[in-house]
Each structure stands twice: as structure tokens, then as C-alpha cells.
Amino acid sequence: MWAIKALFFDVFGTVVDWRSSIIRELGMFGSDKGIDADWADFADHWRSLYQPAMEEVRAGRRPWTILDVLHRESLNTLFAQFGIDGCTEAELDYVNSAWHRLDPWPDSVKGLTRLKQQFIVSTLSNGNTALLVNMAKRASLPWDVVLGAETAGAYKPTSQAYLRNIDSLGLTPDQCMMVAAHNDDLRAASAFGMRTAFVARPMEHGMMQASDLKAEDDWDVIANSITGLADTVLS
């Protein structure tokens, strides 16, 4: 369809269930260390510092910095805020690497494996390369290539984050489809000439999710899972 050669996937929320995985990792760490906290609340706070941290880079107020480093700085902030102390630097590094151990949604591996037969399947994530590769190894995500903010040197939704990665595959934007559970990611991709697929993930933020519950625009494909996307786009 539309001569598409590559599918670019947003990862956090679209391919993996970051929130449940982070709550699980924090809970296991807390249990080992005898630390009690509202880990769901902690996870939501950690994620809430994600966009402001990237905005410092996008706005040019700090030089290029990978997400592992931004996550680690946010973690330091939150450990202080939640009154958790007595952890070593190595323990903080381990907690931070929880973002490398996120579980896929139940349809992700199956859907990607089918789509890979016909298309280049790539990440297009704000996660750094090490994070995405370690996640893929653990979760058996069958990426053909791991692209994103680090390979572009720019965070979504800047144009460079999309266009530099498309260019590195020798493709034009109209040969590429952005797949995301977030309408704003698709709005940016569409503005830069990509095709778009919305995959609804109404539980990304848990039971009380209020945003991105449905497609807010006439995206090229609207699906409820990556296998559903495969049903639509595979010829």
C-alpha cells in the first residue's frame, strides 16, 4: 500500500508497556532493599519528568544528552523527593536500567514478526541505542534496525528526529509510516510527510488514562494492536 518500505515504531507505550514494567522493577528493588513507596506514583512521576528533560535538549539549553542520562538525573531528583536514601550509585544505575527491561504488549512480537516479512521494521524512539538494543534482546523484538533520537542527535518531535533517520535508510518520508499510540507523534510525522498509523494503547497510563484514548485525526491506519496493523497493511 502507498509503496511503503519502512515502518517506524514509537516504542514507549506503543510497543512496550513501560508503566507496568517500571512499577514491577521498582517494586522488586524496593522489596530487596526494604524500601516501601507508592511505586505506581513514583513511576508516573518519573515519566512526568521525561518531556521537560528532553525539552532542555530540544530548546538548545543543553548539548545532546542520551535518555539514559536524563532518566538517571530524574531518578536522583525523585529519590530525594520521595525521601529514599542509602542507595549506592551502582544501585541507582541498576534501577535506572529498568527502562531497558520493559515488557512488550502481548501483540507486539507477533505483529512485528509478521510485518518484518514485508517491510523494514525500525524503532523511531527517544530511547537511546543501548536501551533499545537491550530491550529488544530481552523481549525478542525483531527490529531490522535500531534508529531514534540517538542516531539523529535530536529528540522527537523535532523534524531532524524523523527526517535524519528516514534519510539514513535511503528513503523519502512518503515511503515510511510512523506507528504510534500518541496523536502528537503522528501529527509531527504527518507534517514531515510520513504516513501514519495509530495503535490505541488505552492502558498505557493505567486505568485512569485520559489522553490518546483514540485517534484524534484521520490517520492512514487506525488499529487496536500491532497484529491489527499487520492485518491492515500486509498485502
Considering only 54-62, 107-115, 128-136, 214-222, which stretch makes contact with its own copies by CB under 8 A? 128-136
From the list 49, 87, 169, 215, which residue makes contact with its own copies (rule: CB under 8 A)? 169
Secondary element (H or E) of residue 221: strand 221-223
Is position 20 an interface residue for its own copies (rule: CB under 8 A)? no
Is position 146 an interface residue for its own copies (rule: CB under 8 A)? yes
C-alpha dihedral (137, 196, 2, 228), degrees to nearest 10: 60
Cβ atoms of residues 186 and 223 within 8 Å: no
Instruction: Decide whether 34 or 170 has the Cβ nearer to its own copies.
Output: 170
From the list 84, 87, 130, 222, which residue makes contact with its own copies (rule: CB under 8 A)? 130
- Enumerate residues 6+ apart whose C-beta is below 8 A from 195: 2, 4, 174, 176, 177, 178, 220
Burial of 16 (0-12, 13-18, 19+ CB in 10 A): buried
Q: CA 39 to CA 32: how far, in whole Å?
A: 14
Q: How far is the CB of 138 from its own copies (least distance, A)?
A: 11
Q: CA 144 to CA 165: how far, in whole Å?
A: 13
Considering only 132-140, 193-201, 204-212, 220-228, which stretch makes contact with its own copies by CB under 8 A? 132-140
Is position 125 an interface residue for its own copies (rule: CB under 8 A)? no
Is position 144 an interface residue for its own copies (rule: CB under 8 A)? yes
Cβ atoms of residues 72 and 50 within 8 Å: no
Say how many residues touch its own copies, by CB under 8 A.
21
From the list 40, 145, 200, 222, which residue makes contact with its own copies (rule: CB under 8 A)? 145
Is position 138 an interface residue for its own copies (rule: CB under 8 A)? no
Is position 92 an interface residue for its own copies (rule: CB under 8 A)? no
Q: How far is the CB of 167 from its own copies (least distance, A)?
A: 9
Is position 134 an interface residue for its own copies (rule: CB under 8 A)? yes
Burial 210-223 (b: 16+ CB within 10 A, else e): eebeebeeebbbbb
Interface residues with its own copies (CB under 8 A)?
68, 120, 128-131, 133-134, 136-137, 143-147, 150-151, 168-171
